[in-house]
Structures are given as C-alpha cells and as structure tokens.
Amino acid sequence: MTSLLQLTNVCKRYPPGTRVFKNVCATLGEGEFAWLTGRSGAGKSTLLKLIAGIERPSQGHIHVNGRDITMLSAVDIPAYRQHLGLIFQDPMLLMDRSVAANVGLSLDIRGGLRRAERDRRVARALARVGLDGRGDSHPAHLSGGEAARVAIARALVAGPRLVLADEPTGNLDAALAHDILGLFRQINGFGVSVIVASHDESLIASYPATRWHLQDHAVQVASVPGMPA
Amino acid sequence: MMVPHGLRRLQPGALRALPLADIMLVLVVATALALPALLWTLQDTLGSAMAQRSGGAAVLFLRDDQPDTQREVDAVLRDSEGVQGWDHLSANAARTAFADYLGLSAQDALRDTLDVPATTTVRLDTALAAAAAADMTARWREHPRIDDVWWDRDERDRNLALYALVRNSGYVLTLILLGAGMAIIAGSVGGRLAREQPAIAVMTLLGATDRFIMRPHVLHALLLGGAAAVVAHLLLPLGNAALRAGLAPLEALLALPLTVHAPSGALLLWLYLGAPLLAATTTILVVRWQLQRMRTRSE
C-alpha cells in the first residue's frame, strides 16, 4: 500500500514546556482507515491539527502525499488544506446560508468551477450523505445527525484524498453515531484515506481498522481485532 | 451565470436590508470627500480673483515723460521674466489717476497741485516667487532712466498669504477628513469582521485564502464608496450655493470678482475614484490586519 501520510518523530510542546507528545511515528496508506484513540487530553485533536496544518509541530516532519507540510509557508497552507476533508465534533455550519451554500463553500474556496458544475457536485455530495433535496434547507432546521451529514458532505464535495474527523459522533446518540460511521466506511470504500479520532469503544470495535492510540506522550500503532489482512 | 462569491451576498435582498451603519458610513465618506472638494472650489475662486486683480499688485516706475525713456523701459521689461504686462501713463494721465485714487472731485483745486511724474505700471506674474520679484525690482531701480520704483509688495504678499492659507487649510482639512473617514470605515469593517469571526474561522479551516475572505468585504466597500460618491456629488451644488452666499460680503468688501465655478471634471474624478478607493483601501488594510491577528491568536 502506498503511503499517503507519514509522521516522523513528531513532537509537540506548548509553552511553557507542556509536552503533548514526542517522537510520534506513524504511516497511513492510500485508502487506509485509521482510528485515532486515547483518553481526553491525550493529544488526538492536536495531532489532527498538525496533520491539517492548523498548528505546526515543535519538531519532526509530516509528509502528505510525499510533501513535507511542516515546511509549507503560511501562504501555501490554504492551498494544502483545500485538498483535505476536515470534520469536527461541532459541524461548524454557517447559519447565514443554506445547506447547499454551506456544502458548496469548499468548492467556492477552491474556485474554477462553473455554477452548473458546482451545483451538480453539491447535489451529488448531499445525495451521498442521504440529504438528497435538502439543499435549500436552513442549517437551523436540521437535526444534529443531519448537521453532521452536511459537514461530511462539505468535507467530501471537493474530492479529498485524506479526510480527518475529530470526534465527529461526539454529540450524537449511538444509533446516529453508527449511521455516521457508515458514511465514513462508505467514503473509505471509495479509496479515500480516513482518520477518525474517537473514544467511543463500541464504535471503534464495530469497524476493524488501524488504530493509533495516544498514551504517555507517544503513539502506539495497532490493528483493531478483526481487521481484514 | 456564475455569480462571484462576494456578489452573492450583495443580492437585491441584501441591499434592501442595508443597515443603518452602512448608511452612516456612506454619509461620513461623502462628507469627508465633499468638504475638501468645496475647499478646493474656494481655492479656485480666490485664485481666479487674484489672477484678475494682479494688476493691483504691481510695480510702479516713476520716470521722465520723454518718448525715448518709454522705449527704453519697454526694452527692459521685454527682457524681464515674470512680467505679465505693463501700461504707460503720461504725467497728466498719472496725475488724473492719482487724484481719482485720492477721491478728489474734478473741480477740486488740489488736483492742480499734485506733482506726479509719468509712470509705468508693471503687472507681475502671480506665480513669480517673492525673492525673484525683489531681485528684479532692485535691478530696475539701478536703471538710469528710471527715477524710482514703488513695489506694492505688501498687497501682493497679502494676496499670496491668503491664497496659501486657503490652500494649506484645504490640505490639512483634507487629511483630517480622510483620516476620520478611514477611522470610521475601519471601525465598521472591524465590527463586521468581529461578527463574522466564526464564519471566517470555518473558511480558514476549509483552506480559504485571505483574498477569498477579503473579496466580499472589498466589494461591499466599493459599493458603499460608489454610493458615497453619488451622495457627495449631490451635496456639492448645495455646498457651492452656501459658498456663494458666504463669499458675497467679502466680494463687496474687497471689490473682488469671486466667481464660484460648477464642479470640474477633476473634482468629480476625485469623488468617483476617491470614495471607492478610500473605502476599499481601508477595508483591505483592516481585513489583512484582523486576519493576521486572528491567525496569531489561534497559534
């Protein structure tokens, strides 16, 4: 499996000297799914932020698709981030625009698409997350599960090769959480690499995959039991 | 048709909901540009009046009444730079002019007692520097056929000082008003950015560049700047009317023809380019600064 993401001796410290983790080494292949686990405060969100270029590591290198993103300048970071799919526990939808406009925002930021093509992609992304025909709805009228689906559609609409999800089911009940996991499995089935941070063991157990477990300032890479060879 | 991101937020519905803050902003920017425009009109009015009156701020030669002397003086003045024109008066004509100047009636016996030589009145170019004019009159004073030179330097300097006062006040007021306009635009943009901070955070996470985030704000500023230019254009005739009314007593007092001209093309260009440019430039600076601050805070 070709490596899409490679973490090499990644350290992160916050002043004044608070160490989140040190010498984290891990690799994610093309089309691979990884659970990022660990207790609260272990650094799951921080690691995802480092991979997304939201924060910079104190030491070490992060290669995405062969490119060392720790060397990217502030000007180059937005272009890099346009090729990622980012999903957070809070769907972070813009309340002053429709569902379709929220989903289309990723495409607007990337630019270069004609209106018809953009609308077609938005409709397709909404259909993929089970919100066909809800484009004109207002985010305030969505349930928690629907809002999470809109956030996933927004992350997928631009066709990213790597999706990073930080506790995407944290605010949802068990049934909805499994629905959302189903979407991630579906995304992964299309060959998109996915990292999902979660501490929901029942959810993790339901989908065998690589597990990056953060503990004692280090990451332990393991396979979830039952993971296909 | 593909509508640019920024314009989608400026659809007619959005214009109908133009908030009070935007209306205030339009009025402030319009005032900030219209007042300097009025000062320039005043400067133009005074400048034209002084150019017409420049004969009064003149150099007076006293000379003998011989035709040869007049010819020699003509030659001297032709060779001098900064001379707008000149008039010769015979001794008789000069006496009459001087008596009229003193307000003596035609029958007044004092007229005959006035001893006035033949004169030449030289009108200097208003643009001539005071030092250059002083040098020139000193040279003329040395001429053997010129008995004396009277230079009404005080009046000329007074005129120039008044003109410079109006001009410099115009510059200072322009700077103050533009600064105030920029401060108010900056406050308005800053407030809007603060309200939109969550949306900006989402856009940044999705990979939006500063340019993308800035675009709707700059388009908004250009729109408001355009509206401010139209308002300022409408304010100018009112300002000109007020200027005419204000200058009327001065015109009578100084016996100066103070004509207030209609707004020139340059003035309208100042309004229609200046207002959108002022609004857009300030917006770009504020958005850049705020985005930088947000980035620093998040790091």
| Segment B47-105, tens digit of pLDDT | 777 666 544 456 777 778 888 888 888 888 888 888 888 888 888 888 888 888 777 88
Both tokens assigned to A90: 């809070």
CA distances from B11 to A75, A100, B6, B25 (A): 31, 17, 10, 20
Q: Give B203→chain A minimum CA distance, Å.
A: 8
Find the closest chain B residue to A75 by CA distance: B209
Per-residue confidence (pLDDT) for residue B256, from 0 to 100: 67
B199 CB neighbours in chain A (<8 A) are 94, 96
Per-residue confidence (pLDDT) for residue A207, from 0 to 100: 86
Q: Give A39→chain B minimum CA distance, Å.
A: 24
Per-residue confidence (pLDDT) for residue B51, from 0 to 100: 63
Per-residue confidence (pLDDT) for residue B215, from 0 to 100: 92
Chain B contact probe: residue of A92, A117, A157 with most B CBs at under 10 A: A92
> Of residues A220 and A101, which shows the higher confidence score?
A101
- Judge whether B204 is closer than 8 Å to chain A, CB to CB: yes
Chain A contact probe: residue of B3, B11, B202, B215 with most A CBs at under 10 A: B202
Q: Give B46→chain A minimum CA distance, Å.
A: 53
Residue B123's beta-bridge partner residues?
B58, B85
Rounded-to-integer distance, Cα B209 and Cα A45, Å: 23
* Candidate from B2, B198, B207 with C-beta closest to A78: B207
- Lowest-pLDDT range, A15-19, A37-41, A52-56? A15-19
Residues with Cβ < 8 Å from B189, sequence gap 6 or more?
A: B217, B221, B282, B283, B286, B287
pLDDT digits (tens, 9 = 90+) for A150-175: 999 999 999 899 999 998 888 778 88
Report yes or no: A163 and A128 within 8 Å, Cβ to Cβ.
no
pLDDT digits (tens, 9 = 90+) for B188-247: 888 888 888 888 989 999 999 999 999 999 999 999 999 999 999 998 888 888 888 888
Per-residue confidence (pLDDT) for residue B181, from 0 to 100: 85
Both tokens assigned to A96: 């002053």
Report yes or no: A141 and A102 within 8 Å, Cβ to Cβ.
no
Please report the number of interchain residue pairs, chain A to chain B, with beta-carbon separation below 8 angstroms: 51
A54 CB neighbours in chain B (<8 A) are 205, 298
- Judge whether A79 is closer than 8 Å to chain B, CB to CB: yes
- Under the banding of pLDDT at 50, 70 and 90, the label for residue A116 is very high
Residues with Cβ < 8 Å from A161, sequence gap 6 or more?
A: A4, A30, A65, A83, A192, A193
Q: Give the 3-state secondary structure of residue B97.
A: helix
User: What's the N-to-C CA distance of chain B in angstroms?
Assistant: 40
Give chain A's mean pLDDT.
88
Beta strands B83-89 and A67-68: pairing type? unpaired
- Lowest-pLDDT range, A77-81, A190-194, B245-249? B245-249
Sign of the C-alpha dihedral computed for residues B203, B207, B210 and B212 taken in this order: negative
**Average pLDDT score over residue span B178-190:** 88
Chain A contact probe: residue of B206, B288, B291 with most A CBs at under 10 A: B206
Per-residue confidence (pLDDT) for residue B52, from 0 to 100: 62
- Under the banding of pLDDT at 50, 70 and 90, the label for residue B150 is confident
- Judge whether B71 is closer than 8 Å to chain A, CB to CB: no
Per-residue confidence (pLDDT) for residue B173, from 0 to 100: 84
Per-residue confidence (pLDDT) for residue A51, from 0 to 100: 95
Burial of B72 (0-12, 13-18, 19+ CB in 10 A): middle
Rounded-to-integer distance, Cα A1 and Cα B83, Å: 92
Torsion, Cα of A21, A27, A33, A35 (10° steps): -20
Examine the pLDDT at A5 and tell me if it is beyond 90. Answer: yes
- Starting at the edge strand that comes first in sequence, how are the strands of the sheet with B146-151 ordered? B83-89, B118-124, B58-63, B146-151
**Average pLDDT score over residue span A113-125:** 93
Chain B contact probe: residue of A109, A110, A114 with most B CBs at under 10 A: A109
A118 CB neighbours in chain B (<8 A) are 2
- Tell me which DSSP letter residue A135 carries: T
pLDDT digits (tens, 9 = 90+) for A192-217: 999 999 988 888 988 888 999 988 87
Q: Give B198→chain A minimum CA distance, Å.
A: 8
Examine the pLDDT at B12 and tell me if it is beyond 50. Answer: no
Find the closest chain A residue to B212 by CA distance: A109
Find the closest chain B residue to A106 by CA distance: B206
Find the closest chain A residue to B200 by CA distance: A94
CA distances from B126 to A17, B41, B256 (A): 73, 19, 16
DSSP alpha helices (H): ranges in chain B? 5-8, 12-16, 20-52, 67-78, 91-102, 110-113, 130-141, 153-195, 197-205, 210-254, 265-298
Find the closest chain B residue to A156 by CA distance: B206
Rounded-to-integer distance, Cα A112 and Cα A91, Å: 26
- Judge whether A94 is closer than 8 Å to chain B, CB to CB: yes
- Judge whether A108 is closer than 8 Å to chain B, CB to CB: yes
Examine the pLDDT at B20 and tell me if it is beyond 90. Answer: no
Per-residue confidence (pLDDT) for residue B94, from 0 to 100: 85
Examine the pLDDT at B25 and tell me if it is beyond 80. Answer: yes
Both tokens assigned to B12: 């007619």
* Candidate from B1, B199, B295 with C-beta closest to A94: B199
- Under the banding of pLDDT at 50, 70 and 90, the label for residue B154 is low
